[in-house]
Homo-oligomer: A and B are copies of this chain.
Amino acid sequence: MIIGRVIGTIVSNAKEPKYEGYKLLVVKEMNVYGEYEKNFYIAADLIGSGIDEVVMLVTGAAARGSVETNEKGIDAVITAKIEKVFIDGKEIIF
């Protein structure tokens, strides 16, 4: 899975019917030390994420295995908010 911060939203009116009811968010990838990586992800939000929150993404076909997106043509979903990360015994503050 991937960690990142929610930095934006996508507005789309002409889209596949299966997307109805999903918020599409822009997530900037972070490493486990809370530093930004260069990648951006557009992901469907399953847990009510807000701008600036640090979240966990599932990507690829596994994104379809989540509770609500089964078989919906979605390749990235936000499935959790990150509270804390402990690396080598130290707490990382995002």
Contacts and interface: CB of A to CB of B under 8 A. Distances in A.
Q: How many copies does the complex hold?
A: 5
Given A62-B61, A80-B12, A85-B26, A67 B31 contact: no
Given A11-B83, A67-B73, A73-B67, A26 B17 contact: no
A15 B65 contact: no
Contacts of A24: 1, 56
Interface string A36-78: 0000111100111001000010111111111101111111110
B76 A11 contact: no
25 contacts: A1-B43, A1-B75, A8-B86, A8-B88, A11-B82, A12-B83, A14-B48, A14-B83, A15-B79, A15-B81, A16-B79, A16-B80, A17-B67, A26-B32, A58-B74, A60-B60, A60-B75, A61-B61, A62-B73, A64-B65, A65-B74, A66-B72, A66-B73, A73-B77, A73-B79
